[in-house]
Amino acid sequence: MTEQQKFRVVKKFIDFEIRDYEPCLIAEVIVDASMNQAGNYGFRPLFNYISQNSISMTAPVIQIPVKKGQWKISFVMPHGSDISSLPISKNSEVEIKQISQGFFACLKFTGNYTEIKLEKNLKLLKGALIRESIIEIGNENNWRSARFDPPFKPSFLKRNEIQIPINWKN
């Protein structure tokens, strides 16, 4: 089974949950493309990096909006990876970054990853946060999407998420 980014569920609501994500390392590229194309454009250099360096594939693949037509695509490095021991990428576009611990509101959805489905679920999660008086961190582009399955998996079995960083006190 593919290793997944480490987190602890802090609270469950009817339509979403709050998670406390552990610090981790990511390999990241920035691509200029539409939302649907960005994942494909970013996947190849990241996959080449992990393949050339015998690093295991993990889940999810994370996609974050930077600005209109520009996205960050990230692979989470295996748990326990150390920034000093990860090889420098031969592709200068791939950066290794440390991500700090953080709380996220997460809404799961299934099916193919499309802009319409993403926008619908982002709106649902933002509405749920307002309903529960939970404060988002950052601006309107503070969210990230997470894809957990390979493209060849049947659509109805694919797991995706919208994740929004939040201000959370236990």
> pLDDT tens digit string along 130-161?
999 999 998 777 899 999 988 788 988 999 99
- Is the pLDDT confidence value at 119 over 80? yes
Q: What type of residue sits at position 153?
A: K
- Is the pLDDT confidence value at 168 over 80? yes
What is the rounded CA–CA span in Å between residue 5 and residue 101? 11
- Is the pLDDT confidence value at 1 over 70? no
Reported as a single tens digit per residue, the pLDDT across 67-108 is 999 999 999 999 989 888 898 888 889 999 999 999 999 999
- Terminal C-alpha separation, the chain: 31
pLDDT of the residue at 30: 96
Mean confidence (pLDDT) of the chain: 92
pLDDT of the residue at 73: 97
- Give 58's Cβ-side CA count (13 Å radius): 20
Which helix H or strand E contains 116, and what residues bound it?
helix 115-131
Domain 3-167 falls under CATH 3.20.80.10: yes
Reported as a single tens digit per residue, the pLDDT across 18-30 is 999 999 999 999 9
Angle, vertex CA 127, rays to CA 126 and CA 130, nearest 5: 90
